[in-house]
Amino acid sequence: MRLPSLLLATLCVALAALGNPALAKWPEQPIRIVVPYPAGGGVDVMMRVLAPIMSERLGQPVIIDNRAGANANIGTAIVGTAKPDGYTLLASATYLTVNPLIETGLAWKPSEFTPVAGLTRTYNLFMANGTSPWKNLGDFVTAARAQPGLAIAPGGTGSPQSMAHRMLRVRTGLQFTEIPYRGTPPLLVDLGNGTLAMGVAPLAAVLGMLESGKLKALAVASEQRSQLLPDVQTTGEAGYPDVIAESWYGLHAPAGTPPAIVQAVAEAARVATADPKAQAIALKAGGETAFLDTRDFEAFLVRDRQRWERIVAEVSKGQ
Protein backbone atom coordinates (compact mmCIF):
# COMPACT_ATOMS: atom_id res chain seq x y z
CA MET A 1 0.00 0.00 0.00
CA ARG A 2 1.38 3.43 -0.94
CA LEU A 3 1.21 6.06 1.79
CA PRO A 4 -0.54 9.37 1.03
CA SER A 5 1.92 11.78 -0.55
CA LEU A 6 1.79 14.41 2.21
CA LEU A 7 2.38 11.83 4.95
CA LEU A 8 5.18 10.20 2.97
CA ALA A 9 6.95 13.52 2.37
CA THR A 10 6.69 14.43 6.06
CA LEU A 11 8.03 11.05 7.16
CA CYS A 12 10.92 11.21 4.71
CA VAL A 13 12.07 14.61 5.92
CA ALA A 14 11.61 13.66 9.58
CA LEU A 15 13.55 10.39 9.26
CA ALA A 16 16.31 12.00 7.23
CA ALA A 17 16.64 14.76 9.79
CA LEU A 18 17.57 12.19 12.45
CA GLY A 19 20.82 11.58 10.59
CA ASN A 20 21.26 15.13 9.30
CA PRO A 21 19.81 17.88 11.51
CA ALA A 22 20.21 20.43 8.69
CA LEU A 23 17.45 18.68 6.75
CA ALA A 24 14.99 19.37 9.55
CA LYS A 25 15.30 23.10 8.81
CA TRP A 26 15.07 22.82 5.01
CA PRO A 27 14.17 25.08 3.34
CA GLU A 28 15.79 28.01 5.12
CA GLN A 29 16.20 30.25 2.06
CA PRO A 30 14.56 30.94 -1.32
CA ILE A 31 14.51 28.13 -3.87
CA ARG A 32 15.60 28.92 -7.41
CA ILE A 33 14.15 27.19 -10.46
CA VAL A 34 16.43 27.73 -13.44
CA VAL A 35 14.45 27.94 -16.69
CA PRO A 36 16.84 27.47 -19.64
CA TYR A 37 14.53 29.41 -21.97
CA PRO A 38 13.57 33.08 -22.33
CA ALA A 39 10.77 34.63 -20.31
CA GLY A 40 7.39 34.20 -21.96
CA GLY A 41 8.06 30.78 -23.49
CA GLY A 42 6.05 27.69 -22.71
CA VAL A 43 8.33 26.32 -19.98
CA ASP A 44 8.61 29.74 -18.35
CA VAL A 45 4.84 30.34 -18.36
CA MET A 46 4.10 26.99 -16.75
CA MET A 47 6.74 27.42 -14.06
CA ARG A 48 5.45 30.87 -13.15
CA VAL A 49 1.96 29.42 -12.74
CA LEU A 50 3.14 26.73 -10.33
CA ALA A 51 5.90 28.55 -8.43
CA PRO A 52 3.66 30.67 -6.11
CA ILE A 53 1.72 27.60 -4.98
CA MET A 54 4.92 25.65 -4.37
CA SER A 55 6.24 28.61 -2.41
CA GLU A 56 3.20 28.57 -0.14
CA ARG A 57 3.61 24.85 0.47
CA LEU A 58 7.36 25.04 1.16
CA GLY A 59 7.29 28.22 3.20
CA GLN A 60 9.98 29.97 1.16
CA PRO A 61 9.93 32.03 -2.07
CA VAL A 62 10.31 29.97 -5.24
CA ILE A 63 12.11 32.19 -7.75
CA ILE A 64 12.20 31.72 -11.51
CA ASP A 65 15.64 32.39 -12.99
CA ASN A 66 15.73 32.50 -16.82
CA ARG A 67 19.11 31.39 -18.18
CA ALA A 68 18.43 30.96 -21.87
CA GLY A 69 20.78 30.15 -24.71
CA ALA A 70 22.59 27.41 -26.64
CA ASN A 71 19.50 25.27 -27.18
CA ALA A 72 18.71 25.21 -23.43
CA ASN A 73 22.22 24.02 -22.56
CA ILE A 74 23.43 27.12 -20.67
CA GLY A 75 20.87 26.99 -17.88
CA THR A 76 21.08 23.22 -17.72
CA ALA A 77 24.85 23.32 -17.19
CA ILE A 78 24.40 25.86 -14.37
CA VAL A 79 22.15 23.46 -12.45
CA GLY A 80 24.40 20.50 -13.23
CA THR A 81 27.22 22.09 -11.25
CA ALA A 82 25.06 23.54 -8.48
CA LYS A 83 25.29 22.36 -4.90
CA PRO A 84 22.85 19.44 -4.34
CA ASP A 85 21.04 21.06 -1.45
CA GLY A 86 17.58 21.57 -2.95
CA TYR A 87 17.96 25.31 -3.40
CA THR A 88 18.68 25.14 -7.14
CA LEU A 89 16.32 23.17 -9.39
CA LEU A 90 16.03 22.76 -13.15
CA ALA A 91 12.87 23.32 -15.17
CA SER A 92 13.33 20.28 -17.36
CA ALA A 93 11.66 19.45 -20.64
CA THR A 94 12.15 17.27 -23.69
CA TYR A 95 15.54 18.87 -24.40
CA LEU A 96 17.00 16.99 -21.42
CA THR A 97 16.32 13.74 -23.25
CA VAL A 98 16.95 14.81 -26.84
CA ASN A 99 20.03 17.05 -26.66
CA PRO A 100 22.42 14.28 -25.57
CA LEU A 101 21.19 12.19 -28.51
CA ILE A 102 21.91 14.80 -31.18
CA GLU A 103 24.62 17.09 -29.81
CA THR A 104 28.26 16.55 -28.93
CA GLY A 105 30.43 18.46 -26.52
CA LEU A 106 27.65 19.29 -24.08
CA ALA A 107 28.75 21.06 -20.91
CA TRP A 108 26.48 18.77 -18.88
CA LYS A 109 25.63 15.09 -18.60
CA PRO A 110 22.26 13.46 -17.87
CA SER A 111 23.89 11.72 -14.91
CA GLU A 112 24.34 15.12 -13.24
CA PHE A 113 20.60 15.34 -12.53
CA THR A 114 18.04 13.45 -10.51
CA PRO A 115 14.32 13.47 -11.44
CA VAL A 116 11.99 15.18 -9.00
CA ALA A 117 8.52 15.28 -10.59
CA GLY A 118 6.64 15.54 -13.85
CA LEU A 119 4.45 18.64 -14.00
CA THR A 120 2.67 19.34 -17.26
CA ARG A 121 2.44 18.38 -20.90
CA THR A 122 1.79 20.58 -23.89
CA TYR A 123 0.78 19.96 -27.46
CA ASN A 124 2.47 20.96 -30.69
CA LEU A 125 0.58 21.82 -33.85
CA PHE A 126 1.14 21.55 -37.56
CA MET A 127 -0.12 24.91 -38.77
CA ALA A 128 -0.68 26.94 -41.91
CA ASN A 129 -1.75 30.45 -42.78
CA GLY A 130 -5.37 31.12 -41.87
CA THR A 131 -6.31 31.74 -45.52
CA SER A 132 -4.70 28.57 -46.87
CA PRO A 133 -7.01 26.15 -48.69
CA TRP A 134 -5.91 23.17 -46.56
CA LYS A 135 -8.32 21.90 -43.95
CA ASN A 136 -6.03 19.31 -42.38
CA LEU A 137 -2.60 17.70 -42.57
CA GLY A 138 -3.69 15.32 -45.31
CA ASP A 139 -4.59 18.27 -47.54
CA PHE A 140 -1.18 19.81 -46.92
CA VAL A 141 0.65 16.58 -47.78
CA THR A 142 -1.29 16.32 -51.03
CA ALA A 143 -0.38 19.91 -51.92
CA ALA A 144 3.27 19.38 -50.98
CA ARG A 145 3.50 16.38 -53.29
CA ALA A 146 2.21 18.50 -56.14
CA GLN A 147 4.49 21.43 -55.25
CA PRO A 148 7.91 20.17 -54.07
CA GLY A 149 9.95 22.76 -52.21
CA LEU A 150 7.24 24.49 -50.21
CA ALA A 151 8.78 26.76 -47.56
CA ILE A 152 8.55 25.47 -44.02
CA ALA A 153 10.23 26.20 -40.68
CA PRO A 154 11.99 23.11 -39.29
CA GLY A 155 12.10 24.30 -35.67
CA GLY A 156 15.05 24.44 -33.31
CA THR A 157 17.62 21.67 -33.45
CA GLY A 158 16.39 18.66 -31.53
CA SER A 159 13.16 20.32 -30.45
CA PRO A 160 9.94 18.28 -30.48
CA GLN A 161 8.72 20.60 -33.24
CA SER A 162 11.76 19.86 -35.38
CA MET A 163 11.46 16.13 -34.80
CA ALA A 164 7.77 16.16 -35.74
CA HIS A 165 8.55 17.89 -39.01
CA ARG A 166 11.43 15.56 -39.79
CA MET A 167 9.38 12.46 -39.01
CA LEU A 168 6.68 13.71 -41.37
CA ARG A 169 9.31 14.19 -44.04
CA VAL A 170 10.64 10.66 -43.48
CA ARG A 171 7.15 9.14 -43.58
CA THR A 172 6.02 11.00 -46.69
CA GLY A 173 9.26 11.47 -48.64
CA LEU A 174 8.36 15.13 -49.14
CA GLN A 175 10.97 17.75 -50.01
CA PHE A 176 10.75 21.22 -48.47
CA THR A 177 12.65 24.47 -48.53
CA GLU A 178 13.67 24.79 -44.89
CA ILE A 179 13.97 28.29 -43.44
CA PRO A 180 15.55 28.42 -39.95
CA TYR A 181 14.30 30.90 -37.37
CA ARG A 182 15.70 32.08 -34.06
CA GLY A 183 12.69 31.30 -31.93
CA THR A 184 8.97 30.87 -32.41
CA PRO A 185 7.79 34.54 -32.62
CA PRO A 186 9.46 35.40 -35.97
CA LEU A 187 8.37 32.03 -37.35
CA LEU A 188 4.75 32.84 -36.53
CA VAL A 189 5.00 36.25 -38.20
CA ASP A 190 6.09 34.66 -41.48
CA LEU A 191 3.54 31.90 -41.15
CA GLY A 192 0.86 34.53 -40.67
CA ASN A 193 1.93 36.61 -43.66
CA GLY A 194 2.23 33.63 -45.99
CA THR A 195 6.02 33.50 -46.33
CA LEU A 196 5.89 29.99 -44.91
CA ALA A 197 3.54 27.28 -46.09
CA MET A 198 3.67 25.29 -42.88
CA GLY A 199 5.23 25.33 -39.43
CA VAL A 200 5.15 23.39 -36.18
CA ALA A 201 4.86 25.28 -32.89
CA PRO A 202 3.64 24.81 -29.32
CA LEU A 203 -0.07 25.33 -28.79
CA ALA A 204 0.69 27.80 -25.99
CA ALA A 205 2.50 30.08 -28.45
CA VAL A 206 -0.22 30.18 -31.11
CA LEU A 207 -3.55 30.31 -29.31
CA GLY A 208 -4.06 34.01 -29.99
CA MET A 209 -3.29 33.71 -33.70
CA LEU A 210 -5.56 30.69 -34.00
CA GLU A 211 -8.41 32.55 -32.32
CA SER A 212 -7.91 35.56 -34.59
CA GLY A 213 -7.89 33.40 -37.71
CA LYS A 214 -4.36 34.38 -38.73
CA LEU A 215 -3.29 30.76 -38.40
CA LYS A 216 -5.01 27.45 -39.01
CA ALA A 217 -4.31 24.20 -37.14
CA LEU A 218 -3.83 21.25 -39.50
CA ALA A 219 -3.14 18.57 -36.87
CA VAL A 220 -2.14 18.06 -33.26
CA ALA A 221 1.13 16.10 -33.05
CA SER A 222 -0.18 13.87 -30.29
CA GLU A 223 -1.91 10.60 -29.58
CA GLN A 224 -5.00 12.42 -28.35
CA ARG A 225 -6.84 15.60 -29.26
CA SER A 226 -6.35 18.76 -27.25
CA GLN A 227 -9.16 19.89 -24.97
CA LEU A 228 -8.71 23.38 -26.41
CA LEU A 229 -8.97 22.21 -30.03
CA PRO A 230 -11.37 19.25 -29.96
CA ASP A 231 -12.17 19.56 -33.67
CA VAL A 232 -8.54 19.37 -34.81
CA GLN A 233 -7.47 15.85 -35.73
CA THR A 234 -4.33 14.20 -34.38
CA THR A 235 -1.42 13.18 -36.59
CA GLY A 236 -2.48 9.59 -36.00
CA GLU A 237 -5.93 10.31 -37.37
CA ALA A 238 -4.25 11.94 -40.34
CA GLY A 239 -2.43 8.68 -41.07
CA TYR A 240 0.90 9.34 -39.33
CA PRO A 241 0.66 7.71 -35.87
CA ASP A 242 4.37 7.99 -35.07
CA VAL A 243 4.65 11.70 -35.91
CA ILE A 244 4.24 12.60 -32.25
CA ALA A 245 5.69 15.69 -30.59
CA GLU A 246 4.18 16.10 -27.16
CA SER A 247 6.28 18.25 -24.88
CA TRP A 248 6.62 17.51 -21.18
CA TYR A 249 7.78 19.83 -18.42
CA GLY A 250 9.18 18.68 -15.11
CA LEU A 251 11.64 19.37 -12.34
CA HIS A 252 15.12 17.94 -11.87
CA ALA A 253 17.65 18.55 -9.11
CA PRO A 254 21.44 18.19 -9.09
CA ALA A 255 22.50 14.59 -8.58
CA GLY A 256 23.15 13.85 -4.94
CA THR A 257 20.27 15.96 -3.63
CA PRO A 258 18.99 14.19 -0.49
CA PRO A 259 15.96 12.00 -1.24
CA ALA A 260 14.01 13.66 1.56
CA ILE A 261 14.39 17.05 -0.12
CA VAL A 262 13.48 15.59 -3.50
CA GLN A 263 10.34 14.14 -1.93
CA ALA A 264 9.43 17.45 -0.29
CA VAL A 265 9.79 19.35 -3.58
CA ALA A 266 7.78 16.68 -5.39
CA GLU A 267 5.00 17.01 -2.84
CA ALA A 268 4.93 20.78 -3.29
CA ALA A 269 4.73 20.23 -7.05
CA ARG A 270 1.83 17.79 -6.58
CA VAL A 271 -0.09 20.36 -4.56
CA ALA A 272 0.59 23.03 -7.20
CA THR A 273 -0.53 20.91 -10.16
CA ALA A 274 -3.71 19.89 -8.30
CA ASP A 275 -4.75 23.51 -7.73
CA PRO A 276 -7.86 24.28 -9.84
CA LYS A 277 -6.65 27.79 -10.66
CA ALA A 278 -3.28 26.48 -11.81
CA GLN A 279 -4.99 23.84 -13.94
CA ALA A 280 -7.22 26.47 -15.54
CA ILE A 281 -4.29 28.79 -16.27
CA ALA A 282 -2.22 25.93 -17.66
CA LEU A 283 -5.07 24.90 -19.95
CA LYS A 284 -5.57 28.47 -21.14
CA ALA A 285 -1.85 28.65 -21.86
CA GLY A 286 -2.08 25.56 -24.04
CA GLY A 287 -0.97 22.88 -21.60
CA GLU A 288 -2.39 20.42 -19.13
CA THR A 289 -1.15 19.58 -15.65
CA ALA A 290 0.00 15.98 -15.58
CA PHE A 291 1.72 15.30 -12.26
CA LEU A 292 4.06 12.34 -11.93
CA ASP A 293 5.72 11.56 -8.62
CA THR A 294 9.44 10.83 -8.56
CA ARG A 295 9.13 7.10 -9.17
CA ASP A 296 6.60 7.46 -11.98
CA PHE A 297 8.59 10.32 -13.50
CA GLU A 298 11.72 8.17 -13.55
CA ALA A 299 9.83 5.39 -15.35
CA PHE A 300 8.37 7.89 -17.81
CA LEU A 301 11.83 9.28 -18.60
CA VAL A 302 13.11 5.80 -19.44
CA ARG A 303 10.25 5.29 -21.90
CA ASP A 304 10.68 8.81 -23.28
CA ARG A 305 14.36 8.26 -23.97
CA GLN A 306 13.68 4.95 -25.70
CA ARG A 307 11.08 6.61 -27.92
CA TRP A 308 13.36 9.51 -28.85
CA GLU A 309 16.25 7.14 -29.54
CA ARG A 310 14.08 5.39 -32.13
CA ILE A 311 12.95 8.71 -33.63
CA VAL A 312 16.46 10.17 -33.82
CA ALA A 313 17.79 6.98 -35.42
CA GLU A 314 15.02 6.94 -38.00
CA VAL A 315 15.32 10.64 -38.78
CA SER A 316 19.10 10.31 -39.15
CA LYS A 317 18.63 7.38 -41.51
CA GLY A 318 16.16 9.36 -43.58
CA GLN A 319 18.32 12.48 -43.95
**pLDDT the model gives residue 11:** 56
Say if residue 117 is in the same domain as residue 251.
yes
How many Å apart are CA 179 and CA 193, to the nearest integer?
Answer: 15
User: What is the CATH number for 64?
Assistant: 3.40.190.150
Count, residues in the chain: 319
How many Å apart are CA 82 and CA 62, to the nearest integer?
Answer: 16
Say if residue 57 is in the same domain as residue 131.
no
Say if residue 208 is in the same domain as residue 103.
no
Question: Which DSSP category does 289 fall into?
Answer: E
How many Å apart are CA 257 and CA 79, to the nearest integer?
Answer: 12
β-sheet with 215-220: strand ranges across: 176-178, 150-153, 198-202, 124-129, 215-220
**pLDDT the model gives residue 1:** 47
Please write the tens of the pLDDT for every residue from 92-126: 999 999 999 989 999 999 999 999 999 998 889 99
How many Å apart are CA 12 and CA 91, to the nearest integer?
Answer: 23
**pLDDT the model gives residue 38:** 86
Say if residue 115 is in the same domain as residue 165.
no
**pLDDT the model gives residue 161:** 86
Say if residue 9 is in the same domain as residue 110.
yes
What's the one-letter identity of residue 72? A
Please write the tens of the pLDDT for every residue from 192-248: 999 999 999 888 788 889 999 999 999 999 888 988 899 999 999 999 998 988 889
User: What is the CATH number for 154?
Assistant: 3.40.190.10
Number of structural domains found in the chain: 2
With CA atoms as reference, report the closest residue to 59 among 32, 27, 88.
Answer: 27
Q: Assign 184 a pLDDT band (cuts: 50, 70, 90).
A: confident
**pLDDT the model gives residue 183:** 72
**pLDDT the model gives residue 39:** 86
Please write the tens of the pLDDT for every residue from 44-54: 888 999 999 99
- Do the domain assignments include residue 241? no
Q: Which helix (H) or strand (E) holds 128?
A: strand 124-129
Q: Assign 256 a pLDDT band (cuts: 50, 70, 90).
A: very high
Whether 117 and 271 have beta carbons less than 8 Å apart is answered as: no
What would you report as the CA-atom Rg of the chain, rounded to the nearest whole angstrom?
Answer: 20
Average pLDDT over residues 273-284: 89
Mean pLDDT of the chain: 89
How many Å apart are CA 290 and CA 117, to the nearest integer?
Answer: 10
Q: Assign 13 a pLDDT band (cuts: 50, 70, 90).
A: low
Answer yes or no: is pLDDT of 7 > 70.
no
Answer yes or no: is pLDDT of 58 > 80.
yes
Please write the tens of the pLDDT for every residue from 132-160: 999 999 999 999 999 999 999 877 777 78
How many Å apart are CA 308 and CA 40, to the nearest integer?
Answer: 26
- Do the domain assignments include residue 300? yes
Instruction: Give every CB contact of residue 48 below 8 A, 6+ residues apart in sequence.
Output: 64
Say if residue 21 is in the same domain as residue 107.
yes
Say if residue 135 is in the same domain as residue 54.
no
Whether 220 and 235 have beta carbons less than 8 Å apart is answered as: yes
For residue 134, the enclosing domain spans 124-220
